[in-house]
A and B are shown apart, each in its own frame.
Chain A
Amino acid sequence: MKPVTVFALIGLLALAACGPVPASPTEAPTATTPPETRTLRVMTHDSFDISEEVLAAFEAQHNATVEILQAGDAGVVLNQAILSRDNPLADVLYGVDNTLLSRALEADIFDPYTSPLLAEIPDHLELDPQHRALPVDYGDVCLNYDKAWFAEQDLTPPANLEDLVKPEYRGLTVVENPATSSPGLAFMLATIGHFGETGAYTWLDYWADLRDNGVLVTEGWEDAYWGQFTYGSGGEGDRPIVVSYASSPPVEVYFAEEPFEEAPTAAVVGDSSCFRQIEFVGILKGAQNRDLAEAWVDFMLGTTFQEDIPLHMFMFPANQNAALPEVFAKFAVIPEHPAEVSYDAIEANREAWVEAWTEVVLR
């Protein structure tokens, strides 16, 4: 056979293999299954995860197939939804957080839906009074530190944001760039909420001091945590303080090579030193299966899914009736007073804040 023919054949075969997934035999309409298995399309970010069982239970109960479309981080997904709003890619969008909420609501991509389960969710998580975006889970972005490193150096770990600019913490901190990273943005917002924009010592003064104290800025969480953080990098990085999540210590315990008595890292959760990210779900305008979409939203807010969240997405359930898994109950600390910045202010000022931050920290 001639090589070109072979290439053409390989291409055709592989292309054919890439076509739509053929329906499995159980889904094929037969005498025993009802004819209409509907498809619900959910678009979401790459961090979305769920148990097979929980997903299968929903599909069985509603005689539906759920197609999950993932495409990058929450920002990318939201932009895709906005650009395709006349001909939506999906029925439901999950993963818009409070830093993006205003953009989503302004672009008017959601239809309101007042789920009966909202009654089980604390009011302070419900940011949109019209119920276009419904809170599903939350997580706090805050400083984490490497306990063993501080013990070895005989240094007291930081207790609040102010500590980081002290001389003994010089060159110890790594943060993510708010222009490129969602925890980076959240941490910048924490400093804005904590220090404020006006007064004798503003958030920008704080960042100027942090810069003088040798703060390192990375593009994203992965490089900060795995490349620079002493614990995450296995000693190759030299920064024992990193911006991560309040849930990171229990997750470290859960994904440890050997069982831990206590978490190897800890989160700094002092007053207004964290920023709370709240993630929302909404039914997209033009959804093809409105009733199915509503059922999915109820499902996401219900306790079965909510109790599945911590070990799959490492966030905390919004529904107050959902029980936490043992590792979270034992090792997680939830900040009582996260820093407050309203979602309207975030959308209105994001660009200016990031620009001001860049000016002070990087240029």
Chain B
Amino acid sequence: MRWHKMAGSKMQDAGQRLLLASCILPLAFLLLFYFYPLFSILTLSFAPEGHFSLAPLEKLFSTPYYVHVLWFTTWQATLSTLLTVGLALPGAYVFARYDFPGKSLVQALTTVPFVLPTIVVALAFTALLGPHGLINLALMGLLGLDRPPLNLQHTLAIILLAHIFYNYTLVLRIVGTYWANLDPRLEEAARMLGANRWRAFREVTLPLLTPAIGAAALLVFVFCFTSFGVILVLGGPRFATLEVEIYHQTIHYLNLPLAAALSVVQILFTFALMAAYTRLQARTTLPLELRPRQVTQRWPRYWREWLVVGANVVLMLVLLVTPLAALVERSLTLSTTGGVSLAFYRQLFYNPRGSAFYVPPVAAVRNSVGFALATMGLSVVLGLMAAAVLDSQNPARSPRGRGRWLRRLLDPIFMLPLGTSAVTLGLGFIVALDEPPLNLRTTPLLVVLAHTLVALPFVVRSVLPALRSIHPRLREAAALLGASPWRVWREVDLPIVARAVLVGAVFAFTISMGEFGATSLIARPERPTMPIAIYRFLGRPGTVNYGQALAMSTLLMLVCTLGFLAIERFRAGEVGEF
């Protein structure tokens, strides 16, 4: 017994040191590249003439319009989240429990929407749902109508549809991956004991899934809460979220005090939500006997199972893939003759005007993928460290509740960049990072840092539920057998969470490919990415420019699909087990 105790305390010391080390890096990263720029721009905004004043905040809450904006921001995000989770949960079930032909391709395709620029998505939606779109034309033909029956342009419905379109994949991947490792025997046991299918799901599976559903729902909510392009372009000028107002006030009126006040409200709201979620999660997380997916997944056997799988795949294809297909179709169609042609793709490779800002497609792909890989690498490493720290505060691991306050504080803090206005943070970079050694304002490095800020929460949220579900006995056993804390983490934790890490990696890659966050507002020298090339083409008239924009969009979709497939294949050695 004494021997046990000694080994235990030694391990604790080494473990503490390891934790401390992995705590410092992600925190330092946030401190330098998030808090410092944020505080710089906020102090500048609240104290324009040198003296600090919070009057703009008061003004905000006494102006009915802004109260209304806050209200709309919140409820459209709530509704979007409920719809997305509701629609994607059956899909997650199908992906968790069944194997079927084309599964990884479907999964990759569901993530493609995430990278598409809003304006491109708007064009795809017009092609499908517009007054002369495919669906209206079909309905008019079918029902013999002479006016388009569906008018979704600039409605709340299209905002919700776009939010589902963008975020479906978050729920599918995060919940699906977690679900795949749940032991199906638990639900089977409940069925044996007489529970019907629904009751077994509601009382056994659903509670066990709560941490993953919560994590996914939280990400969807924060994304919709800070929604910008979808609201502006698809929702039209009658809708405004906090983020839209921050943009107006900053860019068009340079009303920094008001913009800062709106930003602070947005950040505080995210923080409060996160803090509430952290408390909830601590209560719902249970250590589980996880099962490798080889055991939990199989081909559908009966027609009913095929029906469930088929219905969900069809839903994904209709909801997520048809708009993409509409874009590909347009990129291959000449507007003059309607003929199919690769002309727009060929033109991507020419620079007829000898423009200094011509972007060769290969360079655009290289730049995009380069930034995305850097973002992925950085955010996976920092995210794993952060997740390890947050997990070490797990009540199951430190029952005496030591450091619980730390968890309650740290967990929301890692989410904050996601809930922070890109406009505010972008200006923060300019104000704060202007002196050596942090003179990063015009370096491409800043792009990677800005992408990583947004990607980090995705990695943390993807990994944490899996990490928390690991039964402490596994780690204790390894430690008793003499493994160092580092080795325990590497050989027990990591293989079990490897799938979740890949999910996080996919999202980090995606976020960077899609140019999220503050990067569009960073002054950067020539290193144009694919979304930037798309915007350049769309910025001027001429059907050739339109065609090339869609050809470049198609290329972006293709590169992303290949990227997702490659990342998912990425299984080194023993990690493939789960």
Contacts and interface: CB of A to CB of B under 8 A. Distances in A.
Interface of A: 1-4, 6-15, 17-21, 41, 43, 46-55, 67-73, 75-77, 79-80, 82-84, 87, 89-90, 103, 177, 179-180, 216-223, 225-228, 232-238, 244-245, 248, 251-252, 254-258, 265, 311-312, 314, 350-351, 354, 358, 362-363
B451 to A, nearest CB: 11
B233 A3 contact: no
Given A51-B354, A52-B356, A84-B434, A4 B254 contact: no
Contacts of A3: 494, 498, 501, 570-572, 575
Given A17-B370, A50-B357, A219 B427 contact: no
Contacts of B130: 227, 233, 236-238
B357 A48 contact: yes
Nearest 7 CB-CB pairs, A to B?
A: A11-B377, A255-B542, A14-B374, A71-B523, A69-B523, A14-B373, A219-B232
A343 to B, nearest CB: 16
Contacts of A41: 442
Contacts of B490: 2, 4
A146 B28 CA distance: 57
A238 B378 CA distance: 47
Given A79-B254, A350-B253, A237 B132 contact: yes
A257 B547 contact: yes
A55 B356 CA distance: 7
Contact of A179 (B237, B384, B545): B237
B381 A84 contact: no
B4 interface: no
28 contacts: A7-B381, A7-B505, A11-B380, A17-B374, A18-B370, A20-B443, A21-B525, A47-B539, A51-B356, A68-B356, A75-B251, A75-B252, A84-B430, A87-B434, A90-B523, A179-B237, A216-B153, A219-B236, A220-B232, A221-B539, A234-B546, A236-B131, A255-B541, A255-B542, A255-B544, A257-B334, A257-B343, A363-B238
Given A87-B434, A236-B133, A312 B237 contact: no
Nearest to B333: A234
A76 B123 CA distance: 25
B298 to A, nearest CB: 26
Contacts of B354: 51-53
A217 B522 contact: no
B448 interface: yes
B541 A251 contact: yes
Interface string B247-273: 010111110000000000000000000
Contacts of B380: 4, 7, 11
Contact of A12 (B248, B336, B377): B377
Contacts of A49: 355-357
B467 to A, nearest CB: 14
Given A179-B248, A251-B541, A72 B520 contact: yes
Contacts of B237: 177, 179-180, 217-219, 358, 362
Given A19-B443, A227-B126, 4 more contacts: A53-B354, A68-B357, A71-B522, A180-B237
B526 interface: yes
Contact of A103 (B254, B430, B445, B538): B254
A37 to B, nearest CB: 16
Nearest to B452: A11
Given A257-B336, A351-B253, A217 B236 contact: yes
A15 B58 CA distance: 43
A351 B251 CA distance: 12
B115 interface: no
- The A contact surface, by secondary structure, is mixed
A242 to B, nearest CB: 10
A217 B237 CA distance: 7
- The B contact surface, by secondary structure, is helix
A20 B441 CA distance: 12
Contacts of B539: 46-47, 221-222
Contacts of A223: 119, 122, 233
Contacts of A236: 126-127, 130-133
A8 B381 contact: yes
Given A1-B572, A227-B122, A67 B525 contact: yes
A107 to B, nearest CB: 9
B440 to A, nearest CB: 11
Contacts of A15: 374, 377-378, 445, 448
A180 B434 contact: no
A73 B127 CA distance: 27
A180 B252 contact: yes
B448 to A, nearest CB: 6
A18 B442 CA distance: 12
A8 B523 contact: no
Given A15-B374, A236-B126, A350-B253, A70 B355 contact: no
A251 B127 contact: no
A216 B151 CA distance: 13
Given A49-B357, A69-B442, A11 B336 contact: no
Contacts of B542: 251-252, 254-256
Contact of A311 (B232, B252, B353): B353
Given A18-B447, A223-B122, A225-B541, A46 B353 contact: no
B57 interface: no
B213 to A, nearest CB: 26
B146 interface: no
B377 A14 contact: yes
B404 interface: no
Contacts of B89: none
A235 B132 contact: yes
B131 A238 contact: yes
B16 to A, nearest CB: 21
B565 interface: no
Interface in B462-476: none
A172 B490 CA distance: 64
A90 B427 CA distance: 16
B431 interface: yes
Contacts of A217: 236-237
B431 to A, nearest CB: 6
B262 to A, nearest CB: 15
B15 interface: no
Contact of B445 (A19, A226, A265, A311): A19
A329 B343 CA distance: 28
Given A46-B539, A236-B132, A251-B540, A220 B233 contact: yes
Nearest to A242: B541
